[in-house]
Structure 1
Amino acid sequence: MTMVKPEVLTTAGAGEAMAEVARVLVAGDVTPLRCVLVPAELFRRHGYLLLHYPRLHRVAADGAVPLSSDARRELGSLLDSAGADDVVGAYEALTRESALSPAELESRCRQSGIHRLGSGSYASVTEVNRRLTIVLNGFLPALAAGYTDATAMVGLFECHSPREIGDLRAGLLGTLDPATAEPTSLRGALGALVRRRQGVTLSEGRNGVHLSAGHLEGMVQAWRYFATADGRGIESTVLGRSLAGLGAPMTAVAALAADHNVPEESGHTVAPHGATENLRRDEVLEHVRRWTAAGRNSSA
């Protein structure tokens, strides 16, 4: 799945931007099967934004509670080195300083640095109400606000390619900052387009395009945005059919869409979408088959 974000898609320029995405995809040996344009505000109001980034939202709302084992270890290391007073999610941080806006919180977090703890889990050491605080996913409230613009759209492409997702994300997607991305990449091409047409410079935080992080996340997104609209279940997706053929229970597979932590034999917990990020298809099938074999996909 390729998602084109609101900072790129305005009502006036949506057609040109979607055509540019399709051109870059085809040039990169990716076939767009179908696409849809959705008003950004409708996308947010119907819950798609939360469902597209479930762990980002959960960590921003609940703080450290949803973190996987690896993310907790990373957070512990950051706490040891930072000397911060507290750890809070982004929305809790907003309540602790009366005049703090989502945009200002994001600015502080980006200026102080954003540390990746794990899939969908990021931390910044910054001041909140004059106290040094670790804020989790501090950019998320401002990002969500971008989906309230009445002139903005969200574009969604369901795609097929013989190339593996890891290869596509390393090359075709482009670097996090569109300004440094290759001109032939999605982010590089779209960055050039909106700079030329709208006079807007994309950034690391508003980089225009999201590409599914792995086969599991791609399956969930294809199911949510396209299969369900046709009244079909997750087993109708390409990866879903393979999992059904392996005997994986489809209710357990569908539950992985929420990206709750799953336990491993080691006793640690992992984020399913993050644990399958950039893996080969056969590796993802084995992970999901194992997680769902005995109902082990319950939240942890």
Structure 2
Amino acid sequence: MVTREDVHSLVAGARQVGGRRDTGLVRKPAPDSGSHVVVLVKPELLGAAAEEAMTEVVRVLGSGEVDILRCAVMPAADFSARGALLRHYPRLHRVAADGAAALAGDARRALEALTATSGRLDVLGAYAALDHDANLSAATLETRCREAGITKLGSGSYASTVEVLGRPIVVLNGFLPALADAYRQDRGALVGLLECHSDREVGDLRSGLLGALHPGQAAPGSLRGAAGAVAGRHGIELSEGRNGVHLSAGHLEGMLQAWRYFAAADGCGVDSTALGRALVGHGVPTAFITGLAADHNLPCGPADTVAPHGATESLSRDEVIGLVRRWATTTPTNGRVLV
């Protein structure tokens, strides 16, 4: 069990050495039932209030019937430099970098509907939008997108109609460059990672325990509600975009994050996670499972594609196992994920 003293020691150690500090190997792996997820405590919350914020997260998880198996803390700049931020939000980054070409089928159709009603405007990924205007900063682009409104097209895919060089365009994931900058720029900020298990379903954890997207609107007993309370006491501004806490969006994402942040650090494969063991036991190749971490589009019917992480968000553990088994046998790439 991770305690208040543990998180205080991790925070102090990460600050002292400028690197990752970890509670270490767990005595027994996550059970083969329930939800195996990761909670990410973000740098906007882990600055001057890091010890208090991590203590509150541990408290809320415990009161919400969640067992913390392991915890790690590391500098946010290191988290970004090692590519962990990119891999935590792979589709957000890909859509921001590659634009419409990276969209899965449902998001592409939603974009077509949006541009049809907007006069078929040009569509740019966030980074291409910055390239088009050398005087446009990542922070200004995010402000324009939030003021104009952000429409969710699909998993990890968002659109805003804003002006760039005096003409309206549709920008995809326009908030992402500024979000990435926030991890790199505050050298004193940390990231907290907690490997967790609960008998509660992931959907229940996200709708009940995680709390509303904006911490100021989240229930007091939720993770984001507690984050908002800590932020208020320390003059920290949180928002929908900088909401302090993330919890794995589904069983598939939880498995991949538990592997990436903890098992991989021990030299173990994805088959050491609870869901990974189950998938391998059902004959899914390990290479296929690890390939899903990048969230590349997979074929889904004639001339259609699906985003793996988004497609599994609302599914039960058994449903996820069934869907991944089907993908592994029907994806025409010899067991490899599309790139």
Q: Which TM-score bucket, shorter chain as reference?
A: over 0.9
Pick aligned residue for 1:151 from 185, 188, 192: 188
Q: Is the 8 A contact 2:45 2:236 kept in 1?
A: no
Matching residue's letter, 2:132: R
3-state DSSP of counterpart to 1:65:
helix
Aligned match for 2:60, one of 2, 24, 37: 24
Query: Equivalents in 2 of 1:203, 1:84: separation in Å?
Result: 31
Structure 1, unaligned runs of 5 or more: none
User: Which of 265, 269, 279 in structure 1 is aligned with 2:305?
Assistant: 269
Matching residue within 160, 164, 171 for 2:197: 160
**Alignment pair present for 1:69 and 2:108:** no
Q: TM-score, normalised by structure 1?
A: 0.97
Aligned equivalent of 2:338: 299
After superposition, the C-alpha distances for 1:39-92 in whole angstroms (9 at most, x for unaligned) are 000000000000000000000001000100100000000001112531000001
SS of structure 1 residue aligned to 2:124: strand
Is the CA contact 2:49–2:230 (under 8 Å) kept in the aligned structure 1?
no
| Equivalence map 1:194-205=2 (5 Å) | 194-196=231-233, 198-205=234-241
Report the Cα offset of residue 281 of structure 1. Answer: 0.5
Pairing 1:1-300 to 2, within 5 Å after superposition: 1-10=38-47, 12-83=48-119, 85-148=121-184, 149-196=186-233, 198-296=234-332, 298-299=337-338
Q: Aligned-residue CA RMSD in angstroms?
A: 1.1
Matched pairs, number: 298
Q: TM-score of the superposition, structure 2-length normalised? A: 0.86
Q: Is the 8 A contact 1:216 1:276 kept in 2?
A: yes
SS of residue paired to 1:35: strand
**Distance in 2, Cα, partners of 1:30 & 1:19:** 14
List structure 1 runs of 4+ shifted beyond 3 angstroms.
Answer: 294-297
Letter in 2 for 1:217: E
**What code does the residue aligned with 1:135 have?**
V
Inter-partner Cα distance in structure 2 for 1:295 and 1:126: 37
Q: Which runs of 5 or more residues in structure 2 are unaligned?
A: 1-37
Per-residue CA deviations over 1:244-288 (Å, capped at 9, x if unaligned) read 111111111110110000112354210000000121101111111
* Contact persistence 1:84–1:132 (CA under 8 A): no
CA contact (8 A) 2:224 2:244 kept: yes
The 2-side partners of 1:94 and 1:264 are apart by: 33
Name the % identity: 61
Moved more, 201-210 or 134-143: 201-210
Partner deviation per Cα, 1:95-128 (whole Å, 9 max, x = no partner): 1112111010000000000000000000001111
